[in-house]
Structure 1
Amino acid sequence: MPVFSPTLTLYIARRFAGMALAMIVALAALVALFDFIELLRRAATREDAGFALVATIASLRLPFVIMQILPFGVLLGGIIAFWRLSRASELVVARAAGVSAWSFLAGPVVVAALLGVLAMTVISPLSAAMFSRAERMDATYLRNAQSMSSLAGGRLWLRQSDDSVQPGGVAILAGVPEITPRGFVLREASLWRLSATDRPLERVEAPEALLTPGAWELSQAVTFATNRQPTPPESLRVRTTLTPDRIEESFAAPDTLSFWALPEFIRVLESSGFSAVRHRLYFESLLSTPLLAVAMGLLAAGFSMRHARRGGVAQMLGAGVAAGFALFLLDKVVEELGQAGTLPVVLAAWAPSVAGLMFALTLLLYVEDG
């Protein structure tokens, strides 16, 4: 009967956690260094972009870098930790004493899951806030972009709920976006009001629509009812949950949004007529982070628990690293398919984690002879 040793499990978990954290820090520092060098190169032709600005942008991107390399940190840290334990024959003695690999791997699995949960709930919001600020500084000083004002020049289409005319109604607002001292404005605004069954109720034309807290203010608005007879120009107020920040964020990368704010933002985005595929995919990917970390930890165990005297250790370790990069490639491929709408969002987000977990469990069953 397999033996469970809490002391051994805790010992292996501690070794695994220490090496995984060390690899995460090392990889993050390496990637941040290359990012810093690239920013320095781009800032070389900018007189107003000094060393302090570049260092600030690179520092603000650090939590984002940690989020990206965390699975590889768990994989490489786990490979080194288990390889050291195998080289010292500690795992061999434990298994000879009747302790199953499934028993002493419980500790590393819990550690990997906790690292994933920590990344999802704590590091992700911190990364979103800091990365968003870094992107704004990058756009202002290194790319000379103008944030939401870059939307001007083309018509912007918005869709939202509108029950002021009929319960369950929908409002579609279109216009040329512009940033003014008064706030966000849609020039040459057109408003279509539809019933819950998409039956046209009325159309409104106005020179502009000003976005104020909680409502759109349409000045000199002319309303055309179903009989197509216009009404005299008047001021019109249409309730909305949109804000200038939410409109801007809908065109920004999902990485700049907090994990905790994403569900509500997705709901508002979809009710306003924007596509929320990228944001839903990113949110589901964050939810799968603990499972992906567990899969990486088990992959590390499966590829590194081979005893040194049996030979082929280097090949097994190399195969483990290759499997990690193959999983990364799979993740990027299904992500592109998910964003294109070819795959359902949930499948695109969870497939790499589930595939990695199944492969790791199959490998461990083979190592343990079932």
Structure 2
Amino acid sequence: MGRLFRYILGKMLLRFVLAMLVLFVMVFLGETIDMNRKVQNIDISMNNVLLLALLKTPKTLVLMIPFAVLISGGWAISTLARKSELVAIFAGGGSAWTIIKPIVAGGFGLGMAITLIITPSGALINDMFERMSEKYFGKDDFTSKIGAEDLWFRTMNEQGQSLFVRANKIAPEEKTMRGVDLFVMDHGNLLNHREADELSFDGQNWLAKGKSFDPAQKISIGLGFDDIAQRIEGPSWMPIWNLPEHINSLKNAGFAAKEQILRLNRDLAGVLLAIGLAVIGASLPIGYRRGGNIGRLIAMTVGVGFVTFIANDISFALGKSGQVPVIIAAWAPAVLSMIVGIILLRKTGEC
């Protein structure tokens, strides 16, 4: 690793940290304002309001990290351009690849850090936020847990009592749960326990059949099948190494686990996406030594990055809805960012 390589890499990493600090302050201020609005009628100290806002910040900040990678690459190279260091590098026999190699290395390192350190740390902090917010805002009426052999969820019935449902298997296509136990509890006391071979939803009512329900009987759960399935299968922010086990549990319960598979693949593709965005950010300012306007070049870089960033969200939505295969939806933005970065780099005329 040569001195020039370390010099450019250091500039990129420093500017990534600075970009993250700026984004952190912006997000934290926004969360503080939002939290102040939410706690207007709650007895809570300002210190705890700030702590809640601080703990909630990572959930939004993690979505903006790829943009920080984009900025860091462009910022590092534009600094070299303004100081005429690019001219010196090319005059000394260097090429665009000489400059891009440390940017690629930086993108790879940041991508790995985002996937293996930053995002999992954010998930842990978000768990702290959820536990603390329950103290002031109360618990959600609906909670769920998926095990290796069954799943549980809790909701409220029409009488305001806690209804715990355990099921061995779910058939989403038939909107049916099989091997069901229903527990009704009130203030920690078990009021009723009944079993059913299956619990099905006809679009309006739940119908329990078999065992304790012979003949079949309508029961009140308070939520429709789609609502329950979406909450059980829906997004759960967790470290990447926990996702495979969670996906297997969902599949064993009868779910397709499409969204979780999409998230796993998007996390894996995050490394490639970081490299692509870093290259996009760095490629356009390289052309500055040929007489380009640095402001316009940076604006173009950010614009291209935003398009890639938005494409990532659109691709995720298409994959989630099933309109695009999960693997394509997860990896397409990362591959697209690499292609765009290479095209922009070639257009500099320096490689």
Same fold (TM over 0.5): yes
Cα pair 2:71 2:302 within 8 Å, conserved: yes
Q: Indicate if the aligned counterparts of 2:58 and 2:122 stay in contact, CA closer than 8 A.
A: yes
Q: What residue identity is the alignment partner of 2:80?
A: L
Change (3 A) 1:97 1:340: same
The answer to which of 130-139 and 259-268 deviates more is 130-139
Q: Secondary structure at the match of 1:191?
A: strand
Q: In the alignment, is residue 205 of structure 1 matched against residue 211 of structure 2?
A: yes
Q: Which amino acid aligns with 2:315?
A: V
CA contact (8 A) 1:159 1:274 kept: no
> In the alignment, which of 309, 321, 325 is matched to residue 344 of structure 1?
325
- Please name the residue that 1:115 is paired with: 110
1:111 deviation in Å?
1.5
3-state DSSP class of the match of 2:178? Answer: strand
Count of residue pairs the alignment pairs up: 308
Partner of 1:151: 155
The residue aligned with 1:218 is none
Gaps in structure 1 of 5+ consecutive residues: 162-170, 193-202, 208-221, 223-246
Counterpart amino acid of residue 58 in structure 2: P
On the 8 A contact 1:158/1:274 being kept in 2, the answer is: no
Deviation at residue 180 of structure 1 after TM alignment: 6.3
Rounded Cα–Cα distance in structure 1 between residues aligned with 2:9 and 2:342: 18
Correspondent of 1:294 among 268, 271, 275: 275
Letter of the 2:125 partner, please give it: M
Pairwise CA distance, 1:300: 0.8
The offset of 1:285, in angstroms, is: 1.3
- For 1:190, the aligned partner's letter is A
**2:180, 2:21 → 1: CA distance?**
48
**Residue 332 (structure 1) shift:** 1.3
Is it true that 1:45 corresponds to 2:49 in the alignment? no
> 1:147: Cα distance to partner?
4.4
Shift of 1:297: 0.7
Unpaired runs of at least 5, structure 2? 144-152, 158-162, 171-176, 199-208, 215-228
Q: Deviation of residue 337 (structure 1)?
A: 1.0
Which structure would you say has the larger Rg?
1
Q: 1:150 to 1:8 in 2, by over 3 A?
A: same
Aligned-pair identity in percent equals 24
Greater RCO (Cα-Cα under 8 Å, separation 6 or more): 2
TM-score under structure 1 normalisation?
Answer: 0.73
3-state SS of the aligned residue for 1:305? helix
AA aligned to 1:334 is: S
Deviation at 1:259, TM superposition (A): 1.6
- Is the contact made by 1:139 and 1:146 (CA closer than 8 Å) also made in structure 2? no
Aligned position for 1:17: 13
What is the CA distance between 1:152 and its match in structure 2? 3.5
Deviations 1:98-138 (A, max 9, x none): 21211232112112211111111122222112212313433
The answer to which of 92-101 and 346-355 deviates more is 92-101
2:254 to 254, 260, 273: 273
1:254/1:278 contact within 8 Å kept: no
